[in-house]
Each structure stands twice: as structure tokens, then as C-alpha cells.
Structure 1
Amino acid sequence: MSEFFFGTDLFSEFDRLQRQMANLAGGFPSSLRAGRTGTFPLLNIGATDDSIEIVVFAPGMQADGFDVSIDKGMLTISGERASLEVPAEGSGEATRVYAQERFAGKFRRVIEMPQQADPDNVKARYVNGCLTISVGKREASRPKAIAVQ
């Protein structure tokens, strides 16, 4: 007979403990320096053989509303998204907001670039609410086929 008694399944207790620890840590990805759940704008980061691709989801902005810079291996995306002032029907005055889910205000996201990123080969364009940033990889880090003789 064991001296220890667990009222529930031991593995479910470990799962619960792991979820609590993840909540305490905030679940931050190691490559994002400024990020938390619900942070605006949302990002997708991926890579091809030739480049690192970052897609920033920021609908309702203009291309000149972004400041994108890269320095010391850190890509910084910042800007400001204006709030939507919706006039009340027929009155001409703005509606008082009591609940707002759309982010408005200043934002800043910082992404740590991998060593193979080439800061001299960065392109950015904003189309249909998505800012796409392509950071080229250094020539030495690209895969190369070697012919066997």
C-alpha cells in the first residue's frame, strides 16, 4: 500500500501544472523581444532558402504609417494606428465608445534576426492590410549543391 494518494490522475496534474507555468511565463517566443498575447500588430515569421519573411497584419493603416529599421540584428517595426471616430447618425457628433476591440495607438514590435540575415538586403511593402518584410540571407549561409565526382 502506498503512503501517497492522488485524488486524480497524476498525468492530468502534470498537465495542469505545465499550463500554469506557461501562463506565468507568458508564453513568449524566444525570438520576439516585444510581444505578448493580443499585441498589435500580429506577426508571422518564416524562412525560405534565400530570405527570412515577416508578415505584419495591420489593416486600416497606410504604408507611410510604419517605421521599419534594422540595427545590430534587431528588426524594429513601429507606428501608430488612428482610432476610428464614428459619428452618430444624423447628429454629426462622435459616438461615445464603451467597448473597443480594435487596437488604436502607438505600437512597437522588435524581432531578433538570425545570424544569417543580411541587413543590407531588406525589402518592405504594404498591400491589402499586410506589411511584408523580406530580409535576404547572407550568401555564405545559403544552401549549395556540391557535385560528387
Structure 2
Amino acid sequence: MLNRFFPVLRPKGNVESTRQPDLFSMMEPFFSSPFPARESFGKMMPAVDVSETEQAVLVNAELPGLGAEDVELHVENNYLVLRGEKKEEREEKKKNAVHRECSYGRFSRSIPLPTEVQSDKVTAKFKNGVLKVTLPKSEKARTKRISIES
């Protein structure tokens, strides 16, 4: 596929005889697959959004197909650690998979927190495949407004 777009840049001569790998040959599988990211990573890695307010750090994690009972959550060394397992539903009927993108299995994700939090006051809610975690900031991490005299 890359040959079509960059024929001039392709090395000339016998590439197999050189010691260095051909960059085009290495990149070919990546660009020829319609779903390269899924094939490369192969594991379930939940997508997360991390935001911050004056009072707390907010984390939203997308966990489609999971329930609250499938997820473990804890704060450790200024990281929010998210672990769980997505189990594949198996049917007894024989069927041939034509194309599979869904990931199954165990996952673990460590999310660095931008500031120190009160781990004993963390709350989490799970609804419609989205985990919403609120991590209150510690008192010393909160911004304190200082009045200026004139």
C-alpha cells in the first residue's frame, strides 16, 4: 500500500541483503489493516477522561459491557488504579467469526492523579457502562485565594 503513495522513497536494490530493516516493510501491515490499533494492542484498555475542579479530580472511564461487580478501584501512590475483567458470553451454537473487534479478558489501568487526593473520601458511580469517580483534593492541594491589600 505504501508503494502506491511513496514509490520514489522506496529503497532500490535488494532490501533483504541489507542489515537494517526496511521501514516501508515494517509499516506495511499497519497501513494495510483496516483496524490496526485493535490488532496491535489486542487487550481491553478502558478510555478515560480526567478533569479537575477546585475541589476534586474527576475521572470518567468507559467500560461497555461491564457492571460495577466486574470492576475493582483503589488509590495507590497518587494513582487511581482500575482493574477488572470483561467476560466473553459464549453460546453453544457453532458460529464462525468473520470479524472481531470486541476485547475480552482482564485489564488494569493506572491513571496518574494531577494532585494529592483524600483517598478515604473517594466516591464512584457506575451507570450505562460509564464509571464516574470523584476524588476530593486534600486540603493542602486546594487552591487558596490570598487577598491583596492596596
TM range (shorter): 0.5 to 0.7
Count of aligned pairs between the two proteins? 112
The residue aligned with 2:79 is: 74
The residue aligned with 1:138 is: 138
How far apart, CA to CA, are the structure 2 residues paired with 1:139 and 1:126?
Answer: 27
Residue 117 of structure 1: SS of its match in structure 2? Answer: coil
Higher helix share: 2
Change (3 A) 1:135 1:37: farther
Q: Tell me the amino acid that sits aligned with residue 46 of structure 1.
A: S
Question: Which 4+ stretches in 1 moved above 6 angstroms?
Answer: none
Q: Tell me the amino acid that sits aligned with residue 110 of structure 2.
A: V
The residue aligned with 1:114 is: 114
**What does residue range 14-53 of structure 1 map to in structure 2 within 5 Å?**
40-53=45-58
The residue aligned with 2:67 is: 62
Task: Give the share of equivalent positions with the same residue, in percent.
Answer: 23
How far apart, CA to CA, are the structure 2 residues paired with 1:82 and 1:137?
Answer: 34
Q: Tell me the amino acid that sits aligned with residue 68 of structure 2.
A: A
How far apart, CA to CA, are the structure 2 residues paired with 1:53 and 1:137?
Answer: 10
How far apart, CA to CA, are the structure 1 residues paired with 2:145 and 2:88?
Answer: 52
Q: Is the 8 A contact 2:47 2:62 kept in 1?
A: yes
How far apart, CA to CA, are the structure 1 residues paired with 2:115 and 2:95?
Answer: 49
Higher strand share: 1
How far apart, CA to CA, are the structure 2 residues paired with 1:37 and 1:147?
Answer: 53
Q: Tell me the amino acid that sits aligned with residue 118 of structure 1.
A: Q
How far apart, CA to CA, are the structure 1 residues paired with 2:42 and 2:103?
Answer: 13
Displacement, 1:119? 1.9
Which ranges in structure 1 are unaligned for 5 or more consecutive residues?
A: 1-35
TM-score, normalised on structure 2?
Answer: 0.63
Once the two structures are superposed, residues 15-64 of structure 1 have per-residue CA deviations (whole angstroms, 9 ceiling, x without a partner) of xxxxxxxxxxxxxxxxxxxxx79852111111111111110001111111
Cα root mean square deviation, aligned: 2.7
Change (3 A) 1:135 1:84: same
How far apart, CA to CA, are the structure 2 residues paired with 1:98 and 1:82?
Answer: 20
TM-score, normalised on structure 1?
Answer: 0.64
The residue aligned with 1:21 is: none
